Every structure is written in C-alpha cells, then in structure tokens.
C-alpha cells in the first residue's frame, strides 16, 4: 500500500507516538487539581505538550497554547469568541469549511465578511486586498496553505497587510503546522489554529490554538476548570479560559511525542524532503502528460506537499477508486470541504484527485504513483 492521503491524516507516525499514547492510558489520571501521582503525571504530560507546541511555533510562553479536539474546534473558538455583530472580517476563497461555516453562522448574528480572490491557478491576489478593507474591519483570516491546491499563503505579506490596517491576523495552519517553519512572534500572528493528526504526527482528536498574550477570546465552552470552582464565571486566564472539561491526555501525550520528533529532525529538513522526494518528483513525472490537468502552482516557493489533478473529464472519485483497487494507492477525491476554491477552479462537478505526501514516503512510492497516473492517462 502507498499512502498519499496525508493532508487528511498522516498514517505513518514515529513509533514513540503510539507508545506515548499507550503509556498515558496506563499511567495518567485526570490532569485537573489533585495531589496524587497519576493526576500529577497527567498534568506534566499536558504541560510537556504545551511546551513542545510553544517551541515549534516560537510562542513566547506555553500558556499561549490552548488545546482542542482539532483545528475545526479551534477555529470555532477563535471566530466565535473575538467578534461582535456589525464587525467585518476579510478572508479568502481558499478557506476550508472549518472557517466558512462558522462565518456563515456568525453572519446570522450580524457579522460581515468579504472574500479575497485567486487567479486561474488558485494563487491569492494580494494586491486586491486593500480594496476589501472597511471602517469596521477587525481581522484577516487566512489558511496557511490550500488543502485543495497546496498553494501557500505568504504569511509575511498577510501579516504586513493586517498590521498596516490594525487588523487581527488569524491563521488556519491545519496543512502547515509541523510541515513548514512558523514563527508566530516574528510574523505577528494573533491566533494560529492547528490540528494534531496531520503534519504534527499526533493522534486524531488533538489540536488547539496559539493566542497572542494580551488577546482575550470569549470561550466557546465553559464548565469544569479544576480551579476557582466557586466562581460563577469560567476562569479568564490562559490556557484555562479556553479549556473547559477534561483534556485528552493520552492524545496530547502522543501529540507531544510527534512534535518532539519533528523538533529533533528539524522542520526545515522534513519540509525539504516532502517537497523534493514528494511533490516535486511527482510533478516532474506527470506534468507533461496530455490528458492530465494539474491544479494550483506547484512551482511556487510556498507550497504544501499537495498535488491535485484530474484525468480528462473522468469523475475524480472513479480515479481514486481505480488507484486503490488496481494499484493500492491511497488518495482522496471530491471537494475536500473547500467549496469556494472549487468554484474558482471550475471543478465543482468533477472534484479533484488529491495526492498529499509525507516525509515518510519513499522515492520508489512516488515514482510508482506517477507511473500509475501515466497508465490511467493513456487508458481514460
């Protein structure tokens, strides 16, 4: 089996991730207030995960990291807790439904928003952004990279735009955290949302958000906190403010192990391997096939290890089925929860076949996949 669905979930993970989950399930109690060893051990595991994420993102303090179930929950927390009726934000057509659907729901409560567009290859048109600013604009919300095309967002340009207009910068890093170097302080990012089960190499059910010190987000969920139990209001200090209830300690132990492995290897090293052994090698072997259409701009400097394509007019789901049934290659087809990007690319009906690579993929796997695409391009 060749697994190329890493933009959905990384399947191959360092063995210490699984071991950390199992160890935590055997030894960790509830990380809330308690004096016995199992609960203290659980608290240490959670804190270690905070420290690892803070180091990876270059956050100023571990307390800036609040954990959630995934990036979708983290984005709901951020978008639902920062804006008031009548506020306006700017976002892009590249966004995942984890951004779009919270915005559509908030629109019913009076939030306003505008979409920044892309060119024919799905590249953001940064020069058009100034036209979208209104007197009540409060934030810019951008993805780190499109989960459809892999095209990356220039976060330095995004940050410059946001700071020039005194806007909050909120980043959906589901496709980039762990896969590309990110320095939240150097860029001046206010909120960055991440998921644990993709490039961070952690288990499903883990994720969270970085929140700039001094920025207050109204919590999505309130309840048990383990501290200030007699207060009627949920504690306001981070990270407790955004973490009601018992955290997923085994999952966070696994996330910590994954992030620590990434830090030991070096994000830049892993990123280079993904791009050279993965996307670049794949593109080199399929770019000139006459019946294959590639979406996005794989040549751009900022690009996630994602290549999406179609073969002739064939439905993307059928191509994905053939790749699995005949070649044992795992890819993902369809809309990828990013409807506005498909409207921009003209692939609403056909969808796209997405190949997403990991540094664990080998050169032989990539070449074998390219050969399969070559065969299908000739047959279909």
pTM of the model: 0.96
DSSP-assigned states of every residue in 14-56: -HHHHHHHHHHHHH----SS--SHHHHHHHHHHHHHHHHHHHH
For 287, the domain range is 2-10+266-379
Judgement on whether residues 102 and 248 belong to the same structural domain of the protein: yes
Cβ neighbourhood burial of 160 (10 Å; 0-12, 13-18, 19+): middle
Single residue among 214, 241, 265 that ends a domain in this structure: 265
Number of domains comprising the chain: 2
Judgement on whether residues 248 and 203 belong to the same structural domain of the protein: yes
Judgement on whether residues 332 and 272 belong to the same structural domain of the protein: yes
Structure-block tokens of residue 166: 């005194």
Judgement on whether residues 93 and 225 belong to the same structural domain of the protein: yes
Token look-up 């959670």 returns: 46
Judgement on whether residues 166 and 190 belong to the same structural domain of the protein: yes
Judgement on whether residues 201 and 151 belong to the same structural domain of the protein: yes
In the predicted structure, residue 222 carries a pLDDT above the cut 80: no
Could you tell me the CATH number of the domain that includes residue 329?
Answer: 3.90.1150.10
Single residue among 249, 265, 281 that ends a domain in this structure: 265
- Position 231 scores a pLDDT of 62
Judgement on whether residues 204 and 299 belong to the same structural domain of the protein: no
CA nearest to 159, candidates 172, 149, 168: 168
pLDDT for 120-129, tens place per residue? 999 999 999 9
- Mean pLDDT, the chain, integer: 95
Single residue among 231, 265, 299 that ends a domain in this structure: 265
Residues in the chain: 380
Q: Which residues contact 346 (CB under 8 A, 6 or more apart)?
A: none
Indicate left, alpha or beta for 214 from its phi (over 0: left) and psi (-120 to 50: alpha): left
Judgement on whether residues 193 and 56 belong to the same structural domain of the protein: yes
pLDDT: is 299 or 193 the higher one? Answer: 193
């Amino acid at each position: 089996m060749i697994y190329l669905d890493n933009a959905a979930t990384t399947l191959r993970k360092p063995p210490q991730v699984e071991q950390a989950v199992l160890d935590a399930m055997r030894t960790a109690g509830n990380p809330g207030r308690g004096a016995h060893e199992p609960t203290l051990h659980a608290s240490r595991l959670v804190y270690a995960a905070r420290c690892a994420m803070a180091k990876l993102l270059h956050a100023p303090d571990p307390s800036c990291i609040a954990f959630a179930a995934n990036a979708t929950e983290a984005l709901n927390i951020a978008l639902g807790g920062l804006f008031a009726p009548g506020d306006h934000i700017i976002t892009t057509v590249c966004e995942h439904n984890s951004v779009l659907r919270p915005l559509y729901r908030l629109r019913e409560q009076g939030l306003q928003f505008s979409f920044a567009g892309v060119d024919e290859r799905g590249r953001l048109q940064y020069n058009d952004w100034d036209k979208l600013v209104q007197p009540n604009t409060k934030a810019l919300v951008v993805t780190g990279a499109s989960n459809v095309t892999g095209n990356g967002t220039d976060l330095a340009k995004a940050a410059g735009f946001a700071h020039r207009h005194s806007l909050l910068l909120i980043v959906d890093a589901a496709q980039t955290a762990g896969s590309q170097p990110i320095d939240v302080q150097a860029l001046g990012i206010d909120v960055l949302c991440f998921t644990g089960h993709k490039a961070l190499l952690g288990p499903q059910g883990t994720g969270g958000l970085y929140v700039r010190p001094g920025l207050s987000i109204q919590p999505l969920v309130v309840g048990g906190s383990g501290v200030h139990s007699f207060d009627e209001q949920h504690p306001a200090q981070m990270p407790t403010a955004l973490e009601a209830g018992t955290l997923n300690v085994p999952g966070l132990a696994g996330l910590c192990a994954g992030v620590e492995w990434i830090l030991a290897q070096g994000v830049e090293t892993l990123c280079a391997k993904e791009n050279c052994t993965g996307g670049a090698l794949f593109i080199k072997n399929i770019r000139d096939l006459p019946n294959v259409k590639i979406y996005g701009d794989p040549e751009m400097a900022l690009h996630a290890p994602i290549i999406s394509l179609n073969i002739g007019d064939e439905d993307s789901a059928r191509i994905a089925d053939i790749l699995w049934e005949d070649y044992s290659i795992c890819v993902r087809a369809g809309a990828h929860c990013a409807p506005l990007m498909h409207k921009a690319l003209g692939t609403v009906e056909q969808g796209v076949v997405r190949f997403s690579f990991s540094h664990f993929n080998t050169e032989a796997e990539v070449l074998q996949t390219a050969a399969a695409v070559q065969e299908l391009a000739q047959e279909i």
